[in-house]
Amino acid sequence: MKLHILGTAAQLPTKSRSQNAYFLEWMEEGILFDPGEGAQRQFTLAGISPGRIRRIFISHFHGDHCLGLPGILQRLSLMEVPQTVKIYFPEEGADFFHALENASQYTRRIEFEVHPLKAGLVEETGTHRIECVSLDHSTPVLGYRLTLLPQERFDPDQLARYGLEGPAVGELEQKGSLDWKGEHLTREALSYRTKEKVFAYVLDTGACEAVPGLVRNADCVLMEATYLESEQVLADAFRHMTAEQAARYARDNGVQKLVLTHYSERYKDLNIYQKAVENIFKNTHIAQDFDEIEF
């Protein structure tokens, strides 16, 4: 998986930080989270085609998380992308979604599949699972957990050892075994099992009981850090997370990599974030616009 950071500002953008927008390369899909104002331009600056978007997840309908949605929808329609684009959001925000969907006049040339959500299981297949949970903010907010389930994969080294390629690999995949050059080969013997891989998305919320389950044992967690602990009173009042709280959640719940974002405009130098969390959870990435994080 690769996470592209397209914007890291909270409510107010700055000269160096655009509003939220995050693009995740996940399986063969591109997933956009929370397109704030300016998201369309951020795609261009990052050198990523919006046409790769297959799903859009909205955590909530505060402007810095959704005001870029009309431009993205119209851009996809203008491009006439062949895929149906799936859009997910808290069901309480349906009126806001429809207002954004029809924010201006345009000719719709593609299909949007709309999914208003309650907390719970969103989708499960043989390859993946998507879940959402309710978080604690001043408006209904959903956090998202995306899991790639373990899969059987052919070991390229083993295939090369036996000179297997093309139709022979297809036959082995289909039948489970194959007589090849005097040997009886099985799919199981030439395969390995991948590990589960989890991405969790946690914006915007104060500290709450739902966070540990959302982030537990995740390979990568993208979490808001609007404030530092020196502004804990503000964080509590506006139901936001401090960087130190986010780091403790990662430390205490088996997270492999923590990525912080959604910074208040009061903080000009993000080095203070690194200093705030380095003694709590070392594997923390202080995201900046256009960072790319592989995991």
**In what helix (H) or strand (E) does residue 233 lie, and over which residues does it extend?**
helix 232-238
**Given the residues 64, 219, 269, 289, the one annotated as active site:** 64
Residues 218 and 256: beta-carbon distance below 8 Å: yes
Q: Are 99 and 127 in contact (CB under 8 A)?
A: no
> d(Cα 269, Cα 163) in Å, to the nearest integer?
55
Nearest to 137 by CA among 34, 14, 259: 34
DSSP 159-198: HHHHT--THHHHHHHHHSEEEETTEEEETTTTEEEPPPEE
Helices (H), the chain: 39-46, 69-79, 94-101, 156-162, 167-175, 210-215, 232-238, 243-252, 271-277
Q: How far is CA 66 from the centre of its chain?
A: 15
Instruction: Provide the angle, in degrees to the nearest 10, between the axes of the packed helices 69-79 and 39-46.
Output: 60
- 291 catalytic per annotation: no
Maximum pairwise Cα distance, the chain: 73
Nearest residue to 128 (alpha-carbon basis) of 33, 196, 202, 211: 196
Q: Which of the residues are catalytic?
A: 64
